[in-house]
Amino acid sequence: MDRTPPPVSLAAALALPRTPGRSSEVFVDGDLEVRFAARPTNGPQVPHQRDELYFVASGSGHYRVEETVTAVGPGDVLFCAAHAPHGFEDISEDFSVWVLFYGQQK
C-alpha cells in the first residue's frame, strides 16, 4: 500500500455492501486482508487457508474452534489457525466482527 488509508468507523463498516453471512472487504495490502462481517454465518465456517484474527466490534455470542466454545463480546480478540474448524454460535442480532487474514496460504 502506497499510502495510509483513512480510518473506517463501525458505522461506515456497517454500511458496506455485503452478502448475508459473508464479510465485506475493507482493504488489502500484500498478505494482509482486512474485512468486516455484520451477522456472520451462525454455525460452522469452511476452514480457511490462512491464519485469521477476529475483533468483536459489537454484540455477543459464542466462538467455537474445534471443540472449544467461548463466550465473546465487544473488544474480544479471537485467533484461528489456518485449516482449523471454527465458527460463531448463538450470536445476537447486532453481532459484528472485524476479520484480518494474514500470511501466506498454508
Q: Give the pTM.
A: 0.91
* pLDDT single digits (tens) 36-68: 999 998 888 888 999 999 999 999 999 999 999
Q: Residue 20 has what pLDDT?
A: 84
- List the CATH number of the domain containing 49: 2.60.120.10
Whether the Cβ atoms of residue 96 and residue 57 lie closer than 8 Å to each other: yes
Domain that holds residue 84: 30-102
Residue 45 covered by a domain: yes
Residue 78 covered by a domain: yes
* pLDDT of 89 strictly over 80: yes
Residue 2 covered by a domain: no
Residue 17 covered by a domain: no
Give the C-alpha separation, 64 to 44, whole Å: 8
Q: Cell numbers 462481517 label which residue?
A: 37
The count of structural domains within the chain is 1
Residue 14 belongs to what H/E stretch?
helix 10-14
